Amino acid sequence: MIGQKNRILVVGGGSWATAIIKMLMDNPIEKEISWWMRSEQAADHVRQFGHNPNYLSSVEIRVPAKNISTDLSELIPSADIILLCVPAAFLKEALGGITTEDFEGKKVVSAIKGIVPDENMIIGEFINKRYDVAFEDFMVISGPCHAEEVALEKLSYLTIASGDTELAAEFAGMLSTRYINTIVSDDIWGTEYGAVLKNVYAVASGICHGVGYGDNFQAVLISNGIREMERFVAAVHPIDRDIKESAYLGDLLVTAYSQFSRNRTFGNMIGKGYTVKSAQLEMNMIAEGYYAVNCLHEVNKHYNVYMPICSAVYAILYQKHNPSLEMKHLAGQLS
């Protein structure tokens, strides 16, 4: 179980990290929150003014100034829970210099919706193999839940998955508020891979919109997307799961359709003719689906699951296929 003092370290300075800190602060259970931010300038601003200058700046931050630092090794020893909330592509960099011993006796939570590049592992698998954290001490936070709606206190739902569902339930109790409902699951692999795949399908959704397809086709695309997700997670981790649950279908729907979806926005720009680099520069935010589709392409070499949507997005982003022609080819494979 979690330590008596409920000391939680949030690792990451973006919008999702800020939203999670808001949930933790608004929850009535007593806890001590510390925050690692990569940018010293942003950390200084939060210490002085109580707001993140770059993301969700309307959120009031009530974390003590002494608990905000850019030195992760300084914060880890006093934490019971380490909550990882950096883009998957930068996780290894963020944990640079951190050892297996630093994670000893800690619970680890991933709020990352991506795969570690080069390793081609979901976060739970990476943390388990690299830092020897047992799956019973590991948790995953999944949606459907956009950070922007958390900031607005719109009713949202989170799924907390762990190899130890009692631990997941205890941590879920620390996130619940009047605007956050929580669900507990034992499906670490399915919820993690579901969160990765829905970003790819959101990129596909954006590309289709960008090249001129309408709502009717979008509905067919996402209908095929949930079936593609079901095939893949069943191959990777075959357990009894209902793919229509919020952590899978719900998260896919909100990411594919929402105005707040950075992956859909990124895909829309690609469909309109932006290069990957120019789209990334203009957004100034990470679209996890870009990195994820390359990792999934490699992982699927071991499983050979039929994944036409992922294949189409990979062809456009990494093989520089024409978006209009590739989507036309994909349309012929959907039902």
Catalytic residue set: 198
**121 with 88: CB under 8 angstroms?**
no
* Beta bridge pairs of residue 121: 116
Rounded distance, CA 140 to CA 5, Å? 21
Q: Vertex 311, ends 203 and 270: CA angle to 5°? A: 35
The dihedral sign for the CA sequence 161, 166, 167, 171: positive
> Beta strand 115-116 with 121-122: parallel, antiparallel or unpaired?
antiparallel
Amino acid at 156: S
Amino acid at 32: E
26 to 174, 200, 268: CA distances (angstroms): 9, 32, 35
Rounded distance, CA 45 to CA 52, Å? 7
How long, in residues, is the chain?
335
Q: Tell me which residue of 6, 17, 245 sits closest to 111, measured CA to CA.
A: 17
Helix axes 262-271, 276-283, angle to 10 degrees: 140
The dihedral sign for the CA sequence 59, 64, 70, 76: negative
3-state helix, strand, coil in the chain (%, to 5): 55, 15, 35
For residue 193, give the 3-state DSSP assignment.
helix
**312 with 230: CB under 8 angstroms?**
no
For residue 307, give the 3-state DSSP assignment.
coil
